[in-house]
C-alpha cells in the first residue's frame, strides 16, 4: 500500500508538472489530485524541490535505458548516431518537463536547480559521451571523417541544441529531418558502398518496426 501511494504521488506530480510547470504546482495540488493528504507526501519526500529532482531522475534513467537498448542492437555507427538523435527529439516530445528544463523555460525552473549535474546534467553528459563513442567508432571503421572539423562531437551537440531550442516552431519536423541529412552527409565519407552493418540494421528494423531514418 505504501509503495502504491508513493507511485500515485509520482504519477500525479509528473502529470501536473508536465502541464503547468514547476512554479504553478503546489504539494497540495499533487496529493489532492490522487486523494491523499499533504502529510502523506512528506512521508516519502522531503520537499517539492527534491520531489521534482526525483521525477527528473526517473525521466533520465528511463531515457538512458531505452536509448542504450536501441543503440546496442544496431551495427552501423551512422544509424547509432541517428538513433540517438531521434531518441532525444522523441523524448522532448514525450516529456514536457525535460523539454522545459533543457530550454531553460522559467515555469519549469526553480532557483538552485542543477543543470550541470543532477538528473538533467547527467543525461546530457551521457548523451555527449555516447556521441563521442559513436563518432570514434565510426572513424576507426572508416565510416566517418571527423577530421574535417575542429570538433565533430561538439558540432553534433550544437545541431541537436538547435532543434531543442526551436521545438515550438511549426516547421520543427522539417528542421529535424534536415539536421539528420546534414549529420549524415557531413560526417560520412563520400564513398557510397552498401555496407554489411547497414544491411544487418535494415533486416533488424524490417523484422520489427520500420523506421524511416534507418540507413540502408
- Which CATH number do you get for residue 18? 1.10.10.60
Q: How many domains does the chain have?
A: 2
Q: Which residue has the higher pLDDT, 11 or 92?
A: 11
Q: How far is CA 10 from CA 31, 48, 54, 147, 156, in A?
A: 9, 11, 9, 46, 34
Say if 193 falls within a structural domain.
yes
Same domain, 154 and 109: yes
What pLDDT, on the 0 to 100 scale, is given for residue 203? 61
Where are the alpha helices (H) located in the chain, listed in sequence order?
Answer: 2-20, 27-32, 38-44, 48-73, 77-94, 96-102, 118-140, 152-164, 172-187, 196-207
Q: Chain-wide mean pLDDT for the chain?
A: 83
∠ CA 27-29-32, nearest 5°, is: 105
pTM score, whole prediction: 0.77
Say if 77 falls within a structural domain.
yes
Q: Is the pLDDT at 93 greater than 80, yes or no?
A: yes
- Which residue matches cell numbers 515555469? 107
Same domain, 32 and 57: no
Say if 213 falls within a structural domain.
no
d(CA 205, CA 209): 6
Same domain, 7 and 110: no
Q: Is the pLDDT at 214 greater than 60, yes or no?
A: no
Q: On the CB side of 179, how many CA atoms lie within 13 Å of its CA?
A: 24
What pLDDT, on the 0 to 100 scale, is given for residue 212? 44
- Which residue matches cell numbers 517539492? 48
What pLDDT, on the 0 to 100 scale, is given for residue 3? 62
Same domain, 41 and 20: yes
Domain range holding 19?
1-45
Contact 215, 76 (CB under 8 A): yes
| 74 CB-near residues (< 8 Å, 6+ apart) | 80, 83, 201, 204
Instruction: With CA atoms as reference, report the closest residue to 64 among 98, 96, 16, 17.
Output: 98
Neighbours of 99 (CB within 10 A): 18
What are the pLDDT digits (tens) for 4-14?
A: 999 999 999 99
What are the pLDDT digits (tens) for 182-200?
A: 888 888 765 454 456 666 6
What pLDDT, on the 0 to 100 scale, is given for residue 194? 47
Same domain, 129 and 199: yes
Say if 60 falls within a structural domain.
yes
DSSP letter assigned to residue 208: S
Amino acid at each position: 500500500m505504501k509503495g502504491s501511494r508513493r507511485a500515485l504521488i509520482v504519477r500525479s506530480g509528473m502529470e501536473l508538472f508536465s502541464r503547468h510547470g514547476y512554479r504553478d504546482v503546489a504539494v497540495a495540488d499533487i496529493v489532492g489530485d490522487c486523494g491523499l493528504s499533504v502529510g502523506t507526501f512528506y512521508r516519502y519526500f522531503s520537499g517539492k524541490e527534491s520531489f521534482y529532482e526525483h521525477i527528473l531522475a526517473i525521466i533520465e534513467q528511463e531515457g538512458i535505458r531505452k536509448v542504450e537498448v536501441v543503440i546496442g542492437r544496431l551495427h552501423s555507427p551512422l544509424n547509432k548516431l541517428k538513433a540517438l538523435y531521434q531518441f532525444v527529439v522523441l523524448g522532448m516530445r514525450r516529456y514536457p518537463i525535460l523539454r522545459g528544463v533543457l530550454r531553460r523555460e522559467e515555469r519549469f525552473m526553480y532557483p538552485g536547480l542543477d543543470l550541470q549535474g543532477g538528473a538533467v546534467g547527467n543525461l546530457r553528459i551521457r548523451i555527449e559521451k555516447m556521441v563521442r563513442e559513436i563518432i570514434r567508432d565510426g572513424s576507426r571503421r572508416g565510416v566517418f571523417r571527423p577530421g574535417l572539423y575542429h570538433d565533430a562531437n561538439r558540432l553534433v551537440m550544437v545541431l541537436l541544441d538547435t532543434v531543442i531550442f526551436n521545438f515550438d516552431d511549426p516547421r520543427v519536423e522539417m528542421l529535424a529531418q534536415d539536421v539528420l541529412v546534414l549529420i549524415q552527409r557531413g560526417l560520412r565519407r563520400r564513398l557510397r558502398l552498401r555496407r554489411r552493418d547497414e544491411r544487418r540494421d535494415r533486416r533488424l528494423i524490417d523484422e520489427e518496426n520500420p523506421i524511416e531514418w534507418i540507413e540502408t
